[in-house]
Amino acid sequence: MDSQQTERYYREAPAARYAVLIIVCISSFLTPVSLSGSFVAVPAISEDLHVNAVYASWIPATFLLSNLLMMLPAGRLADQYGRKRIFLIGGVLFSIGCLIASFAQTIEVLLVSRVVQGISSALFFTTGMAIITSVFQQGRGAALGWLVSSIYLGLTCGPLLGGWVTEQFGWQAVFWFPLPLMLMVLVLAALKMKGEWRNAQPDRLDFIGTLYMALGMTGSFIGLSSLPDWKAILWLGLGISFMVIFVRHCYTAASPLVRLNLVLENKPFSRALGASIMVYASNYGLVFLLSLYLQYNRGMTPTEAGQVLMVQAIVMTVLAPLAGRLSDRYRPRLLATLGCLSMVAGLALLVVTVGPKTPIWIILICLIAFGIGFGLFSTPNSNSVLGSVPPERLGMSSALLNLSRLLGQMFGTAIITLLMSLMIGQAKITPEYYAGLMEVVRWAVGLSLVFALAAAYFSKERSVALST
């Protein structure tokens, strides 16, 4: 079936629509459960592979960087070759990455596996969101709400499952336990996901632009996370130079990776992207850091730390479907702004209370506020954007949404890595460095509050109309 026949088929087959929703939700559950599960395994990995603090921060960072670099190419490939095909390829690659990670004996091999997982996640996550938007012409907000809820469910289960399997079977188990579910997704997608979605006249993948972006992002991240070493300045200069070249290329190329002029000229859409970047920058690296804080500074086991961190994700999981339904009925920007303000409240409380003896109930209140913020922000933000673009552009538009999320996550992670480098250096995190880790936490919470305030400002007005 071509794209029009596929859309007509799902319009007339409610059961088929919900089968696709289930498949995509399971696949979207797997990335966060693997990623957040690896957070609580970092101390065990560091001990087993003799990894210093900077290398430890690269375990989530390599996943994010590779995911970020592949996000826009994934959107373009999905529009060109078919979203279902790219979705299946992503699932196969993710399985391979999990296998490599579970047998890794050195930090270098583990980081390579994280790169494979990041690339594959970009392939099936970007296409999955675009497929849901294509299939659900009515009730899109509710469907996206369940999709976002499945992501948050993965974040909920990840720390708890990651902590438990790390204690029972070793850190390698964190990477192989998602495999059975991914194999089930591949079988169900091959059998139940009928038809294909592709652009009738797709733009070709911009290889030159992709290369410029990859060099720019990689150089900037390495440079920022390695300061104040003099080599970091060179990396940072190289990264910024290639990002400038990439921007110029996007304005001059006949078929650029992303049409920046359309994005920047549309102020509501660019503000939406800015809000998304700031929201994820304020929270992503901080959750990783809180995992270390709870285990090192507070003496918790991986399971205990996972139980505390899962509170945020539980709130997000419950709230996301409700926010999706509300975004079909009310102005999404209002819900998104309320979400940002909830995060501001939680971070403000953490700024004035965080320390070596902060009561755990205060940490839990802050995590609940984060969960409410994300639950109110994510689905309305996605619905307002994806509901305004033509069907043939959904792959690229979904990629832009995910790119903004990953830019925020990478920026937040880079800040954490920089703080770790400045205050702890290349040493392993041992008791004599716990005070330094506490300082990293304090600085990170303050910066996260600044980012959340910026997100509230950007999300204040958002009425989107975009053609990518």
Instruction: Assign 464 a pLDDT band (cuts: 50, 70, 90).
Output: very low
Residues 6+ apart with CB under 8 A from 200: 3, 392
DSSP 378-445: HHHHHHHHHTTS-GGGHHHHHHHHHHHHHHHHHHHHHHHHHHHHHHTTTS---GGGHHHHHHHHHHHH
Handedness of CA 330, 125, 64, 320 (dihedral sign): positive
pLDDT at 179 over 50: yes
Choose among 189, 24, 187, 174: nearest CA to 99: 174
User: What is the reported pLDDT for 31?
Assistant: 76
Instruction: Assign 385 a pLDDT band (cuts: 50, 70, 90).
Output: low
pLDDT at 341 over 80: yes
- Per DSSP, the three-state class of 446 is helix
Whole-model pTM: value is: 0.69
User: What is the reported pLDDT for 466?
Assistant: 42
CB 27 within 8 A of CB 123: no
pLDDT at 354 over 80: yes
Residues 6+ apart with CB under 8 A from 442: 354
Instruction: Return the axis-axis angle of helices 14-49 and 302-329, rounded to nearest 10°.
Output: 150
How many residues are listed for the chain in this entry? 468
CB 46 within 8 A of CB 429: yes
pLDDT tens-place string over residues 389-400: 555 555 566 667
The mean pLDDT value of the chain amounts to 79
pLDDT tens-place string over residues 290-301: 878 888 888 888
Choose among 413, 466, 11: nearest CA to 224: 413
pLDDT tens-place string over residues 35-50: 777 777 877 888 888 8
**pLDDT: which is higher, 326 or 5:** 326
User: What is the reported pLDDT for 463?
Assistant: 45
Rounded mean pLDDT, 252-268 = 72
Q: Which two tokens stand for residue 253?
A: 């190329």
**pLDDT: which is higher, 361 or 81:** 361
CA 298 remoteness from chain centre? 27
CA 47 remoteness from chain centre? 26
User: What is the reported pLDDT for 345?
Assistant: 92
User: What is the reported pLDDT for 349?
Assistant: 92
pLDDT at 288 over 80: no
CB 30 within 8 A of CB 176: no
pLDDT at 334 over 80: no
pLDDT at 203 over 50: yes
pLDDT at 58 over 80: no
User: What is the reported pLDDT for 344?
Assistant: 92
User: What is the reported pLDDT for 397?
Assistant: 64
User: What is the reported pLDDT for 262?
Assistant: 66
Report the amino acid identity of residue 461: E
Rounded mean pLDDT, 250-260 = 77
What is the Rg, in whole angstroms, of the alpha carbon atoms belonging to the chain? 21
pLDDT tens-place string over residues 64-104: 788 878 877 887 787 778 888 888 999 899 889 888 888 88
Rounded mean pLDDT, 126-150 = 76
Please tell me the least confidently modeled range out of 258-267, 412-421, 430-439.
258-267
Rounded mean pLDDT, 105-115 = 86
pLDDT tens-place string over residues 219-236: 887 776 666 667 778 888
Q: Which two tokens stand for residue 4?
A: 């029009």
Q: CA-CA distance, 75 to 396, in Å (whole number)?
A: 4
**pLDDT: which is higher, 173 or 401:** 173
Handedness of CA 47, 51, 54, 57 (dihedral sign): negative
pLDDT at 315 over 60: yes
User: What is the reported pLDDT for 146?
Assistant: 79
Name all domains of the chain by residue range, CATH numbers in brackets. 3-205+257-458 (1.20.1250.20)
Q: CA-CA distance, 377 to 369, in Å (whole number)?
A: 12
Rounded mean pLDDT, 182-207 = 78
Long-range contacts of 107-111 (CB under 8 A, 24+ apart): 107/45, 107/49, 107/51, 107/55, 110/45, 110/49, 110/59, 111/58, 111/59, 111/62
**pLDDT: which is higher, 24 or 289:** 24
**pLDDT: which is higher, 136 or 277:** 277
pLDDT tens-place string over residues 429-444: 777 777 888 888 888 8
Q: Euclidean distance between the first and final Cα of the chain, in Å?
A: 25
CB 287 within 8 A of CB 312: yes
CB 364 within 8 A of CB 352: no
Choose among 113, 50, 418, 447: nearest CA to 282: 447
User: What is the reported pLDDT for 462?
Assistant: 46
CB 367 within 8 A of CB 375: no
**pLDDT: which is higher, 403 or 426:** 403
Q: CA-CA distance, 88 to 369, in Å (whole number)?
A: 36
Q: CA-CA distance, 56 to 41, in Å (whole number)?
A: 10
Q: Pick the most confident of 65-79, 274-288, 397-411, 439-453.
A: 439-453
What does the DSSP 8-state code read for residue 298? S
pLDDT at 421 over 80: no
